[in-house]
Structure 1
Amino acid sequence: MARVVFLHPDLGIGGAERLVVDAAVALKSRGCSVQIWTAHHDPTHCFPETLDPDLPVVCVGDWLPTSVGGYLHALCAYLRMIYVAVYLIFFSGVEYDVIFCDQVSVCIPVLRLSRHRKKVLFYCHFPDQLLTQRTSALKKLYRAPIDWLEERTTGMADMILVNSQFTAGVFRETFLSLGGVQTDVLYPSLSTSTFDCPPTEEQGLQGLLPEGTSCTFLSLNRYERKKNLGLALEALTALRKSLPPGQRSGVHLVVAGGYDDRVTENVQHYVELKELAARLGLEGCVTFLRSPSDSLKVALLRGSTAVLYTPSREHFGIVPVEAMYCCCPVVAVNSGGPLESVADGETGFLCEPTAEAFSKAMERLLSEPQLRADMGQAGRRRVQDTFSLQAFSDQLHGYILRLTQ
């Protein structure tokens, strides 16, 4: 029985956290001994599986700052993960065979200090250095050693997995010194148990949406600027202009996603989006939700005409997969992970990231109910065939066995 410890910076709610939790549950189902170590775990802001006593979550180092005066987020994240790794190796007494770490690779050299060298599997969601902009010379100077450390320490892993072919290509383009390193693709899976449960909040949608709503579009993403959520608002504006008044009044947009009041960008961007909606004259046409429950999210997916997935060059994105499993067509930007998850014209539409392109796809789904139904069924079949938890579990367990033999 393999003993696996997961190291993750912040066990909140997001795509990376969903993958880590699914991976832990998958390996546990295959008989592995599993623990998750993290620097932050809030029981009120996490996936429910992490509250299961049979899936131990160990939180250390949360007293360390996540930023200094709103700056140095990357440096603080590195220090927190180094602390977690040091605590695990030198003070915990935990025995393990494989460490599964993701997002922050700087802890890998610390893991190498173990008396009995253990295997390290690093899962690259996307190179961290590409997730931040260098808006000043000072920022470039600050990021230079961090970027160098990311590339250097990532290459120290015994095995590197990525979440899509797109990320594999970006990995090779970004980490030039790791050109000879093999990267295998392990697509994120969908843990369908949440989506298969009987609906508990669908009745609540009637009170959530304005009276007379006949068509709901859903944007589901964290409140981050890189997610380009404003595109959904602009697309709704363009759609409303193209519809006759009688039909226009029944169209509604729900913007829902992960929100953490500890994260300054979440707080700021939520306000920015509400201000944009007001400028576009969308009062009464948009509902903003922060960190909706799983059951409400499922109810929204089941009840929406389509999901609007607006990020460009997204490394994978689990939301389109969730939508397709719920028989909800996806309108997504034609770049990054959606090129691999969404079948254009079959399970949804891949569009240029413009309001006009998105609104045309939305209008077609609105006006062709049979197309919408066909796409929904095709999407569910695609998830069952390509992104099932069983396929994910088999592949991941195979990698663990390879590392421990």
Structure 2
Amino acid sequence: MRVLFLHPDLGIGGAERLVVDAGLALQRRGHQVSYVTAHHDRQHCFPETRDQLPVTVRGAWLPGSVCGRLRALCVYVRMLYAALCVVLAPGPRPDLVFCDQVSACVPLLRWAGLRVLFYCHFPDQLLTARRSTLKRLYRAPLDWLEERSTGAAHRVLVNSAFTGGVFAETFPSLRAGRQPDVLYPSLDLVAFDAPLETTVEQVLGAPPPPHLLLSLNRFERKKNLALALDALAEMERLDAAAVSRCRLVLAGGYDPQNAENIAHLAELEAHAAELGVSERVTFLRSPSDAAKRALLRAATAVVYTPDREHFGIVPLEAMYCGAPVVAAASGGPLETVVSGQTGLLCEPRAQEFAAALLRLVTEPEAARRMGEAGRRRVLQNFSFQAFGDRLEKIVTEVVAESAGKEGDLGTEKKTE
């Protein structure tokens, strides 16, 4: 089959990782995969989109914002333009369009007779604050369009049961006939099993500490990264001797063109200085995949701070690499981390995170057992093979169901 992925910005993030993995999974099963996106920076993207997956950019000339505002509207316009380019493109039409994040273009694709699978990482309307009447008025038509256009897809997928519940609450008009299917993100285990191309010492520029506490997340405020710094300060208050053997590494996606990334990293550095823990913290911008694997394999624990995270791929990466996870007891981690077996789930408060991390630092045997159990859990439940098999089954069903409906419609027309 010819499967086209339509994505707003093919950069580095959880949503991008999923669509890249989905493309690789289908490509390895013999399908023709291609991508159309409104933005693709070859210096800030997953390497597979440079050398394995064909990517076409459409609409990059359209503004991403207007004076730093109206970002959602601009993204919607860019996606509509990209979808129009797909509809008008010469040559063979795709058998299926896999659209994600922005559903506004789904009705256009359906109008053109294309089969559409929409992946809802999380309802877009819940990702923005509405602190003013003007903002609420601005968002109202966009929210209405999101619900109606999402319902136009042939099939809707979500990344976790948690997101499925949020989907039902957010889009009440879709509850009756639009139950989304859960397709968990996965890991490409082959890549994670590859020999290390670098060492932790090379990544950090210093000898590795006895206990490496690792946070992997984009430098965005919603990721709640300050919690990791607060927990480190609380750990020092509780057990200074144990913390003297620890180093917290805050590593994650950092785009020098992204204003929030720049501002938030500065905020975190200032917060670390204010807490007096700067000498025990390393900030690492956009580590390579090789550096990330080296850090994960060396970590005593992975600190995962987002609250009500939609799914979160980092806990899976950590568990597969044998690192126990300390995460907020909400959202996706409730479905991936088994507290007490593959890590520790707790309320997103410094005291609780500190206690959990100290347990892993001071009880190495318990940490080792959790790491081993985490790896087994990923192999059993979140392998790339299982992800690809389920995705192909869904894709095949959508194409077959749509073809069947078109056939029935043709028969009805002939009868008339």
Does residue 36 in structure 1 map to residue 35 in structure 2? yes
**2:25 alignment counterpart:** 26
**Deviation at 1:65?**
1.1
**1:278 alignment counterpart:** 273
1:206-355 → structure 2 map (5 Å cutoff): 207-209=204-206, 213-244=209-240, 246-355=241-350
**Deviation at 1:118?**
2.0
Q: What is the CA–CA distance in structure 2 between the aligned matches of 1:207 and 1:134, rounded to whole Å?
A: 40
Q: What is the CA–CA distance in structure 2 between the aligned matches of 1:394 and 1:262, rounded to whole Å?
A: 37
1:178-197 → structure 2 map (5 Å cutoff): 178-180=174-176, 181-197=178-194
**1:165 alignment counterpart:** 161
Q: What is the CA–CA distance in structure 2 between the aligned matches of 1:212 and 1:7, rounded to whole Å?
A: 41
> Which amino acid in the other structure matches residue 146 of structure 2?
E
What does the per-residue CA deviation read over 1:330-372, in whole Å, with 9 as the maximum and x for residues that have no partner? Answer: 0000000000000110000000000000000001000111111
**Deviation at 1:208?**
2.9
- CA root-mean-square deviation: 1.3
> Which amino acid in the other structure matches residue 338 of structure 1?
P
**Deviation at 1:250?**
2.0
**1:201 alignment counterpart:** 198
Q: What is the CA–CA distance in structure 2 between the aligned matches of 1:168 and 1:205, rounded to whole Å?
A: 42
Q: What is the CA–CA distance in structure 2 between the aligned matches of 1:213 and 1:384, rounded to whole Å?
A: 29
Contact 1:88 1:94 in 2 (8 A): no
**2:375 alignment counterpart:** 380
What does the per-residue CA deviation read over 1:71-95, in whole Å, with 9 as the maximum and x for residues that have no partner? Answer: 1110111011011001111134442
Count of residues in Structure 1 that have an aligned counterpart in Structure 2: 399
* Deviating more after overlay: 331-340 vs 137-146: 137-146
**2:407 alignment counterpart:** none
What does the per-residue CA deviation read over 1:197-229, in whole Å, with 9 as the maximum and x for residues that have no partner? Answer: 1111115347534x5832110111011111100
What does the per-residue CA deviation read over 1:166-213, in whole Å, with 9 as the maximum and x for residues that have no partner? Answer: 00000000001111112110000111222111111115347534x583
> Which amino acid in the other structure matches residue 252 of structure 1?
R
**2:68 alignment counterpart:** 70
**DSSP-derived class of the 1:284 partner:** helix
Q: What is the CA–CA distance in structure 1 between the aligned matches of 2:344 and 2:90, rounded to whole Å?
A: 50
> Which amino acid in the other structure matches residue 162 of structure 2?
F
Q: What is the CA–CA distance in structure 2 between the aligned matches of 1:10 and 1:206, rounded to whole Å?
A: 28
Q: What is the CA–CA distance in structure 1 between the aligned matches of 2:33 and 2:196, rounded to whole Å?
A: 30
Q: What is the CA–CA distance in structure 1 between the aligned matches of 2:77 and 2:255, rounded to whole Å?
A: 21
**1:139 alignment counterpart:** 135
What does the per-residue CA deviation read over 1:265-316, in whole Å, with 9 as the maximum and x for residues that have no partner? Answer: 1111111111111111112111001110000011111111111101111010
Q: What is the CA–CA distance in structure 1 between the aligned matches of 2:4 and 2:208, rounded to whole Å?
A: 51
With normalisation by structure 2, the TM-score equals 0.94
**DSSP-derived class of the 1:252 partner:** strand
**Deviation at 1:112?**
2.1
Q: What is the CA–CA distance in structure 1 between the aligned matches of 2:92 and 2:285, rounded to whole Å?
A: 37
Q: Which one has a larger percent helix, Structure 1 or Structure 2? A: 2
Contact 2:242 2:362 in 1 (8 A): no
With normalisation by structure 1, the TM-score equals 0.96
Contact 2:269 2:278 in 1 (8 A): no
Contact 1:194 1:295 in 2 (8 A): no
| Percent identity between the two aligned chains | 58
Contact 1:309 1:320 in 2 (8 A): yes
Contact 1:11 1:40 in 2 (8 A): yes
Does residue 123 in structure 1 map to residue 122 in structure 2? no
> Which amino acid in the other structure matches residue 23 of structure 1?
A
> Which amino acid in the other structure matches residue 198 of structure 1?
P
**DSSP-derived class of the 2:396 partner:** helix
**DSSP-derived class of the 1:390 partner:** helix
